[in-house]
Amino acid sequence: MRIHEKSQVGVISGFVTAIRDYLKRCSAIRDLRRMSDLQIADIGIERGRIPELVDGLMAHRSRQAHRSQ
C-alpha cells in the first residue's frame, strides 16, 4: 500500500469513528431524556445537564481507550 493510500484509509477510518461516536452520543442523550424525572433524579442527574454529562463520559472513555493502546 502506498503512503497516499494509507492516508486515505486513515481519513476514512477517522470519519467512520466520528460518525459512530456521534450516533452513540445521540442514542445516550435520547435514552436519558426518555427517562422520567424521578428516574433521572434517582441516578443523580439534572435533566438540563444530560448532554454535558454524556459528553464528559464519552471523553473519559475515549481517554481510557487511548491509554490502553
pTM of the model: 0.77
b/e per residue 16-53 (b: at least 16 CB within 10 A):
eeeeeeeeeeeebeeebeeeeeeebeeeebeeeebeee
* Domain tally, the chain: 1
**For residue 6, what pLDDT is reported?**
65
Whether 37 has a pLDDT exceeding 70, the answer reads yes
**For residue 39, what pLDDT is reported?**
97
The boundaries of the domain holding residue 17 are 3-67
**For residue 4, what pLDDT is reported?**
61
